[in-house]
């Protein structure tokens, strides 16, 4: 693959905190390698800003391996940028051309208040999981997983749901800022396995209730969440969550 350098114009959202007004600021970055990751390009820009005595741009990052879900950037109108099924940290600069203008924003959702610049507070996701994303197990030695017979189709569906990294791209892409895909992935992951049976009804009722309390919008099934999910979580999990919620609600009324 051909390696080349490029000059770019960045329009980056700067905001001191959730209580202050923000706005775009323009930066010119030069001699950026096509083989850099998007976050490495931001590292170069921040090094320059620090050298000039300016405040560096705040953004979330951790593993930089597409695993942790921290790299939440809205790039040219799309969460995580132009590449399909790719996190921002795994997006490389060869996705852009010399002379391009790139617009970078934080996730936009009431339930994701801005901490600073591109970093947002996603602790609402943590509270959804705390509401029911757990199972009751006996302490002691781990049980051999092969002792529990599980149909391959159910096991595969559970593993696919468990691939969710909680990045919040689904919320950022949704016109309603719904967290249904995230919550559904956590519900489906455990609802499909026998280990999740004890809390099955309480889990979905509690997690959906917490999702609503956090201020996320309602799902209107546009599919935008699935389209931008870096782990390609299917919207069929939302249908499963709705079924689980309905059955749990009916059972609680008996």
What pLDDT digit, counting tens, does each position of 86-124 carry?
A: 999 999 999 999 999 999 999 999 999 999 999 999 999
Q: Is the pLDDT of residue 142 over 90?
A: no
Domain over 122-251 is classified CATH 1.10.1060.10 = yes
Q: Is the pLDDT of residue 143 over 70?
A: no
Could you tell me the CA-to-CA distances from 121 to 117, 150, 203 in Å, in that order?
11, 37, 24
> Is residue 157 within a helix (H) or strand (E), and if so which, with residue range?
helix 152-162
Res 28: pLDDT: 97
Q: What angle do CA 163, 165, 171 make, to 5 degrees?
A: 115
Domain assignments of the chain as residue spans, ordered by start = 5-105, 122-251
Res 74: pLDDT: 98
- Give the model's confidence band at 148: pLDDT under 50 very low, under 70 low, under 90 confident, else very high: confident
pTM of the model as a whole: 0.93
Q: What angle do CA 220, 226, 232 make, to 5 degrees?
A: 160
Domain 5-105: CATH superfamily is Beta-grasp domain (3.10.20.30)
Q: SS3 helix, strand, coil % of the chain, rounded to 5?
A: 40, 15, 45
Res 47: pLDDT: 97
DSSP 20-56: S--EEEEEEEEEEETTSBHHHHHHHHHHHHHHTTPPP
Q: What is the mean pLDDT of the chain?
A: 95
Q: Is the pLDDT of residue 254 over 60?
A: no
Rounded average pLDDT over 170-180: 98
Res 1: pLDDT: 65
Summarised one tens digit per residue, pLDDT across range 187-221 is 999 999 988 998 999 999 999 999 999 999 999 99
- pLDDT above 90 covers a percentage of the chain that reads 88
Res 176: pLDDT: 97
Spatial contact of 5 and 33, defined as CB atoms under 8 Å apart: yes
**What number of residues does the chain have?**
254
Spatial contact of 12 and 119, defined as CB atoms under 8 Å apart: no
CA 201, distance to chain mean position in Å, is 25
Measuring CA to CA, which residue among 107, 128, 105, 79 is closest to residue 231?
A: 79
Other Cβ atoms within 10 Å of 123 Cβ, number: 13
For 183, residues 6+ apart whose C-beta sits below 8 A from its C-beta are 128, 207, 208, 211, 241
Q: Is the pLDDT of residue 20 over 70?
A: yes
For 84, residues 6+ apart whose C-beta sits below 8 A from its C-beta are none
Measuring CA to CA, which residue among 142, 120, 231 is closest to residue 186?
A: 231
């Amino acid at each position: 693959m051909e390696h080349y350098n490029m000059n770019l114009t960045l329009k980056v959202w700067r905001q001191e905190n959730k209580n202050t007004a923000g706005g775009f600021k323009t930066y010119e970055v030069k001699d950026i390698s096509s083989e850099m990751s998007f976050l490495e390009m931001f590292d170069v820009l921040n090094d320059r800003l620090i050298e000039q005595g300016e405040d560096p741009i705040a953004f979330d990052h951790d593993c930089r391996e597409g695993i942790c879900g921290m790299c939440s950037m809205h790039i040219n109108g799309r969460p995580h940028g132009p590449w399909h099924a790719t996190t921002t940290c795994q997006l490389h600069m060869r996705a852009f051309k010399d002379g391009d203008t790139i617009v970078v924003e934080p996730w936009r959702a009431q339930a994701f208040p801005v901490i600073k610049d591109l970093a947002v507070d996603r602790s609402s996701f943590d509270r959804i999981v705390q509401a029911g994303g757990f199972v009751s197990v006996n302490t002691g030695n781990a049980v051999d997983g092969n002792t529990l017979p599980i149909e391959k189709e159910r096991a595969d569906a559970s593993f696919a749901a468990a691939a969710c990294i909680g990045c919040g791209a689904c919320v950022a892409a949704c016109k309603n800022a719904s967290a249904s895909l995230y919550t559904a992935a956590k519900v489906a992951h455990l609802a499909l396995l026998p280990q999740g049976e004890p809390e099955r009804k309480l889990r979905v009722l509690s997690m959906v209730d917490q999702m609503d309390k956090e201020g996320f919008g309602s799902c209107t099934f546009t599919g935008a969440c699935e389209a931008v999910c870096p782990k390609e979580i299917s919207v069929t999990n939302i249908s499963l969550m709705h079924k689980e919620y309905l059955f749990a609600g009916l059972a609680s009324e008996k």
